[in-house]
Structure 1
Amino acid sequence: MAACAGTSFQRRVRSKRAPAAGTRPSLHNGQLLLSTGVPSLDYIIGGGLAVGTLLVVEEDRYESYSRMLLKYFVAEGVVCGHSLFIASARDHPEEILQALPAPLLDDVIEIDKAIRELEDNSGDINNSTTAPQNSMTIAWRYQNLPKVKTALTSSSRFGHYYDVSKTMSTELQRSVKCHSFFLPDEVPLDSSATEFGIMNFGYVKLLRSIQRVIREEGFDGACPQTKQRNILRIGIHSFGSLLWGEDIGLSGSPEHAYSLTKFLYALRGLLRTSLSACIITVPAYLIQNKAIIGRVAKLSDTVIGLESFNASERETNPLYKDYHGLLHVRQLPRLNSLICDVPDTKDLAFKLKRKLFTIERLHLPPDLSDTVSRSSKQDVAESAKLLSSGCGGAARGKKHLDF
């Protein structure tokens, strides 16, 4: 009885296991996040790319900026010490690894300069779009508007900055373990995919290769990792193109999308049960059938689209001179919550500078050309007549209304 006098309640002590390097928990749902290598992109998708999720990037027509996003993702993995898995059907993964941008790690002055440059570009609509001497020409309705910040930055820094004009050192590249999958080396030209049914033979080989790395390296928890917990970053370049053996862009028939959707379904199963995250660039502009694009989006967690201004009318338009393209947020993940974190704006644009790839709120300056002013004179006069007729005798006899 004396032994029963004491309480049997004991406080459960949680194991304080440190998270993997280069990760942090989300403030919204507690999901473990890693940086994509672009801080502004991390801000848009909810603070970073969640571990165990898939990010699909719809390529621009010339594939330059989507390829750059993939390089940033891989470069961030190298700096954080994460394991890498790079798959491609056109460029060898070794070439992609050698073309990674150089990080700004030890040069504090360059880092501060890059951050200051980003903050200076987040001015209001009157800043940087209109010179001080021309302030009197701005309409009164624009002068009284509140300032609009165009830069997308969070209070806490996450991720690193990179110099696109320089390449990463070989010593830093070799400091992490990198697995590669080059389709011409993995799949012979005379191979037949009949044994795999409707599944693309190259996709089957890629899935098996990713699954083998996850199991052998212990990213699925089957075997304990020998060192500190690590993350596997998977980057697949221009997936679903003709070089991968797909013809969905030519046929436009939903039947030809079964192979692609089956791969994405199986890949998400591997990601959900492992410490890994994946970015896939897809040439969506080649796929004419919207049903296929919808299936790809439903089988992905996050989907963004890049629309480059190269060889388009907007390239020569002075209103878009400060940007290189538009960024479209197609889908955001809903993890451990009923609703997703929706960004405060849908009008986003990106620009690539020497040391920064930034995504900003697209805020165009007001059109103050002479043609607009002349065309609006008649409308203003007609409105003044209507107002003067209904404002009583005090307003009569005045040709102009002063507001």
Structure 2
Amino acid sequence: MTVNKLYVQSEQSALLMASGFVKGKKLPLIPGTKPSTHNAQLLVSTGIPSLDHVIGGGLPIGSILLIEDTYGNYANIMLKYFIAEGILVSHNSFIASRDTKPAQFLSEIPAVANDSSTGNKTETNEEMQIAWRYQNLKLVDSSPSGSQVFGHYFDLTKTMDKEKIDRTQVTEWDGENILCRTNAFEKQEFVDLLKSVEETLSKGQFLVSDSPEKRNILRIALRSLGSRLWMCDKEEDTKNDLLRFFYCFRALLRNSYAVATITFPVQFYHNEDALVHRLEHLADTVVGLESFAGSDKEANPVFKDYHGLMHIKKVSAFNTLAPHCPHSMDLAFKLRRKKFLIEVLHMPPELGDTAQREQDDVACGSGSTRSSVLEF
């Protein structure tokens, strides 16, 4: 079967899953999923409730979340949350990484926070030290809604219990033993990774055409795809391999009950030939992280409460002509011990405290004998 035929069939399967029916049967209830209120698409949580809220409720089944990060620190933390959420709701996992062993990555998966039930409330009780005109603006709701909890909070200071991880099926891939080769790719690791994903989908009965007794979801985490270890000797070969891989990988996901999160180091690509834009087009949801570490914004008082900016570059548009639109595009993130929070970026007040105001008032009237009354 050619790649074009596989791509067309995969898009048709995605429409069937998006509409809620497969071969005339309704989609089964799967733990850790919920139907979207916007288009009835089956969703899973990213592991970050505030991110779920921003992108429209969660990640659609059969979709790709692309996280662009310059240094990869925060993107890899989000990847850990993605896998931790899957382990907590008994989803199967597929972890692929070349620069870090998947076993090492798995050992650093955070444990669920004990106060997750109380952590759903946003910090509205604290006095907001912002300008009066922004006090009534709605913040990004970082809490799951409804009677069923969808998305959890995780404590980065604690690692998940190994017994809990062992209860779920986790497939690891590090690219050391290449078993599959082809002339279509210059870097054979791409071929072997695609083959491993395909075998995992087939053996686990995650394909739409399969009829297992109990449906489950496969979460695929690809760490630092496109880094130095993925590059070919020639820059043109690297770009061609990346595009071919995304096309084939997307076709596999569209035909299965799986969802993928990919972290991509954009600092290695100048995007002169629009490679990054083409990869963003192939992905379904694209998030860009702009860290303040080492930049001039780190010392800017406007950003003192945050660790970086979040750019929502693309939101998935399955089964709809009007995709979800975030309440605000001016978003910032901050990493806490038990939360990765995404909030609307507010401008700080022009005057920070009352003492400063009093000093300014005195300064304004210092040249007059009556400082409390303005004379014209």
Secondary structure at 1:114's aligned position in 2?
Answer: coil
Letter of the 1:210 counterpart = V
The match for 1:160 is 152
**Where does the alignment leave 5 or more consecutive residues of structure 1 unmatched?**
1-13, 131-141, 379-397
1:23 paired residue among 33, 36, 54: 33
Which portions of structure 1, spanning 4 or more consecutive aligned residues, are displaced by more than 4 angstroms?
14-17
The match for 1:120 is 124
Task: Sort the Cα spacing of 1:16 and 1:52 in 2 relative to 1 into closer, same or farther, 3 A.
Answer: closer
Letter of the 1:64 counterpart = N
Task: Sort the Cα spacing of 1:332 and 1:213 in 2 relative to 1 into closer, same or farther, 3 A.
Answer: same
CA contact (8 A) 1:82 1:232 kept: yes
- TM-score normalised by L of structure 2: 0.82
- TM-score normalised by L of structure 1: 0.76
The match for 2:315 is 332
User: What does residue range 104-115 of structure 1 map to in structure 2 within 5 Å?
Assistant: 104=113, 107=114, 110-115=115-120
The alpha carbon displacement at 1:82 in A equals 0.6
CA contact (8 A) 1:215 1:222 kept: no
The alpha carbon displacement at 1:144 in A equals 5.5
Q: Distance in 2 between matches of 1:322 and 1:46?
A: 25
The match for 1:43 is 53
CA contact (8 A) 1:58 1:283 kept: yes
The alpha carbon displacement at 1:222 in A equals 4.1
1:260 partnered with 2:264:
no
The match for 1:297 is 280
Which structure has the larger Rg over C-alpha atoms? 1
Structure richer in helix, relative to its length:
1
User: What does residue range 351-362 of structure 1 map to in structure 2 within 5 Å?
Assistant: 351-362=334-345
Q: Distance in 1 between matches of 2:56 and 2:152?
A: 17
2:96 paired residue among 81, 87, 92: 87
Aligned residues: 334
Task: Sort the Cα spacing of 1:207 and 1:353 in 2 relative to 1 into closer, same or farther, 3 A.
Answer: same
The alpha carbon displacement at 1:285 in A equals 1.9
Secondary structure at 1:119's aligned position in 2?
Answer: coil
User: What does residue range 215-254 of structure 1 map to in structure 2 within 5 Å?
Assistant: 215-225=202-212, 227-246=213-232, 251=235
Q: Distance in 2 between matches of 1:287 and 1:216?
A: 36
% of aligned pairs identical? Answer: 37
The match for 2:269 is 287
Letter of the 1:47 counterpart = G
The match for 1:272 is 254
User: What does residue range 316-331 of structure 1 map to in structure 2 within 5 Å?
Assistant: 316-331=299-314
Task: Sort the Cα spacing of 1:208 and 1:361 in 2 relative to 1 into closer, same or farther, 3 A.
Answer: same
1:186 paired residue among 163, 166, 177: 177
Question: Over aligned residues, Cα RMSD in angstroms?
Answer: 2.7
**Where does the alignment leave 5 or more consecutive residues of structure 2 unmatched?**
1-23, 365-373
Task: Sort the Cα spacing of 1:270 and 1:17 in 2 relative to 1 into closer, same or farther, 3 A.
Answer: closer
Letter of the 2:300 counterpart = N
CA deviations 1:338-360 (Å, max 9, x no partner) are: 12111011110111111111111
CA contact (8 A) 2:280 2:286 kept: yes
